[in-house]
Amino acid sequence: MNSDTDLSSLNVTIMGLGLHGGGLSSAIFFAERGSKLTVTDLRNENILKPIIKKLKKYKIKYVLGEHRDIDFLNADLVIKNPAVPLSSPFLKLAKQIETDISIFLKFNKRPIIAVTGSKGKSTTVSAIFDVLKKVKKDSKLGGNITTSPLNFIDECKNKDGAEVILELSSWQLADLKDKKLLVPGISVITNIMPDHQNRYLSMDDYIADKKLIYADQKDDDFLICNFDDKYGKIFASEFPGRVLFVSEKILPSFTDGAFIDDFQGYIRLNGKEEKVLPENLKIPGEHNRLNLLYAALVLKLSGISTSEISEGLKQFSGISHRMELVALIKDISWYNDSAATIPQATAAAMRGCRTPFRLIAGGTDKKLDFDGTIEAFSLAKSIYLLEGSATDRLIILLKNQNISYNGPYDNLEVAVKRAAADTNPGESVIFSPGATSFGMFLNEFDRGDKFRQIVLDLP
């Protein structure tokens, strides 16, 4: 399939309608272009009802609660959800496999800014977009941030349009391998931490997928990566174009990029240094200060003035589920960091908190290691754990370090109310699980939404 294909002639199977919007957008895209459409998902109709309701005006055949060989054998094209591994036996029956990202890239004519990383990518792309759209009003944001770029594909067929910012997970990048579709003018890899080791055979396999973000870039393109991360230097050594670094310390002389000095952020390009971040920001956490520096470099390369970058990032207040300030109740700050699905993200949230805090954590295991982060848990005044397989492993480590905890609880509301009763004015409560959500919640966003509502219902 290419951009000239008559889509009305295609039999299309959507594999994995999902709950984040990618399957929904793919279904709408092909349904509106007259394709004969089948949607198949292992989840049942009750779970998918809110998504199916949005598709009620389209003629779609649904196969729910199972996958069938015939729906893949008869399809000219299978659109897979990123969460479906390519090793699926059903995909081996497909004539052609695409995703919402690859379909978008086949039609798109605008310049691309692509961002990946283990953590920080959603905050980074949101900060870029928040500032960029004030100057270039037709700029777009999509990808892993739960907005499919197919939602705005019709606006991106003109090469004179502003940049499209894509947040890309390792799974989304893996689906683009060897397609030669992703050629960003600017790519960003925020950091590399152990993640998704329940899906990958090794860290090397995970890193190989991250590298795909720059696999087809040219020698006049840019890569921005982490100077403090050992993998950042590996990426830089492989990249054919110009590399810029971000660091939590002053960069070595003659190294261009962005860095932090005395809680303030600076960019250095062609030897010229400019301050872009003040000490006090609306978004909390030192890890978020680094995320804003990635954004600052991208914005500078996109032609935005330093003064516009500085003012815009100073006003940026973050996004849902990433150290989101939910409420200030009785002088207690409640933070929703439900998107912290790995231990390192939870450790960063705790180390970045500037007030005494209580921590709500725990969840389902994805074969990640808490060992290198366990000392950060001692920073919490008290810990409240949710039940889960990751929690079982965490408890062993907490006991070995003589760190006390409450729970584990099989109900988030009970944990929140217990934390509320123990927390003093001037302190904070951080909900940063450090694990996945499955079992107790549909996903990390459902988990964060439930936390937010529980907090807002507190007296």
pTM: 0.82
Strands across the sheet with 140-143, in order? Answer: 140-143, 164-167, 112-116, 186-189, 222-226, 242-247, 257-261, 264-269, 272-277
* Coil vs helix vs strand at 234: helix
Q: Write out the two tokens for 30.
A: 């092909």
Every domain range in the chain assigned CATH 3.40.1190.10: 102-315
Query: Would you state the pLDDT for residue 2?
Result: 66
**Where are the CATH 3.40.50.720 domain residues in the chain?**
9-98
Render each residue's pLDDT in the chain as its tens digit; 459 residues.
666 678 988 999 999 987 766 789 999 999 999 999 999 999 998 889 989 999 999 999 999 999 999 999 999 999 999 889 889 999 999 999 999 999 999 999 999 999 999 888 999 999 999 999 999 999 999 999 889 999 999 999 988 899 999 999 999 999 999 999 999 999 999 999 865 555 677 888 999 999 999 999 999 999 999 999 999 999 999 999 999 999 999 999 989 999 999 989 999 999 899 999 988 888 877 888 999 999 999 999 999 999 999 999 999 988 888 888 899 999 999 999 998 888 888 998 898 888 999 999 999 887 777 777 888 999 999 999 999 999 999 999 999 999 999 999 999 999 999 999 999 999 999 999 999 887 788 888 899 999 999 999 998
Report pLDDT for 283: 84
pLDDT at residue 443, rounded to an integer = 86
Predicted confidence at residue 197, as pLDDT, reads: 54
CATH code at 324-456: 3.90.190.20
CATH architecture of 9-98: 3-Layer(aba) Sandwich (3.40)
Helix or strand run (H / E) with residue 29 = helix 22-32
Distance CA 220, CA 197 (A): 34
**pLDDT in the model for residue 105:** 97
CATH assignment, 102-315: 3.40.1190.10
List of E strands, 123-215: 140-143, 164-167, 186-189
Kindly report, as residue ranges, where domains of CATH 3.90.190.20 are found in the chain. 324-456
